[in-house]
Amino acid sequence: MIEQKELKQDGYSIFYYVSGNREKDLIVFLHPAFADHRCFDKQLDHFAKEFCIITIDMLGHGLSGAKKAKDKIDASIHHINAILDREGYSRAHFVGVSMGTLIAQYYSLHFPDKVRSMTILGGYDINGDNREISKAQRSENIKWIFKALFSMNSFRRYVASVSVSNLVEQVRFYEMASLFTRKSFIVMSGLGNVLKQRDNITRNFPLLILSGDNDIELARRMSEKWHNNEPTSKFQIIQNAGHCANMDNADEFNRIVMGFIKDAPTN
């Protein structure tokens, strides 16, 4: 059973979803940009017996509409922390996809002792030299803005096509993106606070970095570069999968992540 809950904020609400075994350790799944908690539907049953699961509609996504919010997406770390406190968990395993990986890392900078492990899919080190990614992202943003100005549905179809490679999953991604509005773009500006070059960052938790074999070359290369800079991290390519490999090849993603989390230290 999935329980929908509401975290009320000033001018908006964050909706989140609790399922699985409340007596077990917690996994927090953080979705990519333009999607929502439903992108992890194929993970719930696999992890539900052995973990408690929390999925979240981050600000501007899903049911967590921007409304009168003055906060931006970087405030998600405080929403997550409030949710953990409310649900009675002092620590959690974090699994992020794309934008969710950025928020997960940002959370770990502010609350390092609350992270048991971190799984990154389609992400990169928020603390590193990301000028190449920033340049590519600016070019991509122009495409998004151009499409969104003329038709939000055209924009949604486009982001669905580049986020997942499976045609059925593209339809699901489009449905999630239908709740992402023009006002949601304003919320995304908060990523500027997340992505900053920082020196001497140390992580005291296990790190798994994943990439879909059909993701763009730059994304795969930056994931592997991060792994090479993190000697203790683990790295794996998921076959027959695009950017959101958890949707394209859920069985392989679930198997890899379950094994990684189970091997993580329990202390």
CATH code for position 149: 3.40.50.1820
Closest CA relative to residue 95, chosen from 228, 218, 253, 238: 253
What pLDDT was estimated at residue 129?
Answer: 76
**Contact assessment for residue 177 and residue 214, using Cβ atoms and an 8 Å cutoff:** no
At residue 138, does pLDDT exceed 70? no
pTM for this predicted structure: 0.95
pLDDT recorded at residue 29: 98
In which domain, by residue range, is 144 found? 3-263
- Residue 12 DSSP label: E
The DSSP bridge partners found for residue 238 are 212
Count of structural domains, the chain: 1
Q: Is the predicted pLDDT of residue 149 greater than 90, yes or no?
A: no
Contact 96, 30 (CB under 8 A): yes
| Through-space distance between the first and last CA atoms of the chain, rounded to whole angstroms | 29
CA 96 to chain centre: 3
Report how far residue 122's alpha carbon sits from residue 34's, in angstroms, rounded to the nearest whole number.
15
Q: Determine how many CB atoms are found less than 10 A away from the CB of residue 165.
A: 21
What's the token pair of residue 57? 């509609």
pLDDT tens digits, 111-137: 999 999 999 999 999 987 777 666 656
